[in-house]
Each structure stands twice: as structure tokens, then as C-alpha cells.
Amino acid sequence: MVCYHIALLERLPEDFIQWLEAEDDQVIWRCFSERRLRPITKIADREEQVRQLTDMIGEAQALASRAAED
């Protein structure tokens, strides 16, 4: 099971992995489940992967911001 998750992470852009590792907000971490990331790993076009991850990051940050206001 661990090997599966490592293989998933290896298929994502390094910049995204570094960004996620630096995040300490659990709300943001919950937004990036294996279920949501798996389809992105199947995209061959790296630029499209980055676009989709950028959208997800924006959604996660907005959710975290709303959670912090509550």
C-alpha cells in the first residue's frame, strides 16, 4: 500500500509535492486525497497537470481561509 502511494506521488510535478510538503494546514491536506489526485496522475500533458493542480490549490486555500474565519 505504501508503494502505491509513493508511485502516485512520483507521477505528480515536483513543485507541487514540495508545496504540499511545506503546508501545515490540515484543511489543505484533506483536499488532496488519493482519490482526487489519481486522475491528475493519468494526464500525460504536464502543463495540464499543473493547471488542474493550480485550480485545486486555489480551492483548498479558499476552503482553509473560510475555515479559519469560523
* pLDDT tens digits, 15-52: 999 999 999 999 999 999 999 999 999 999 999 999 99
User: Left if phi > 0, otherwise alpha if psi is -120 to 50, otherwise beta: which for 13?
Assistant: beta
Q: What pLDDT is stored for residue 6 in this prediction? A: 86
Q: Measuring CA to CA, which residue among 23, 52, 51, 48 is closest to residue 37? A: 52
Confidence label for 2 from pLDDT (cuts 50, 70 and 90): confident
* Residue 40 burial (10 A CB sphere; 0-12, 13-18, 19+): buried
Q: What's the chain's length in residues?
A: 70
Q: What is the pTM of this model?
A: 0.86
Q: Measuring CA to CA, which residue among 5, 55, 59, 69 is closest to residue 28? A: 59
Total domains in the chain come to: 1
Domain residues for 24?
Answer: 2-69
Q: What pLDDT is stored for residue 29 in this prediction? A: 93
Q: What pLDDT is stored for residue 3 in this prediction? A: 83
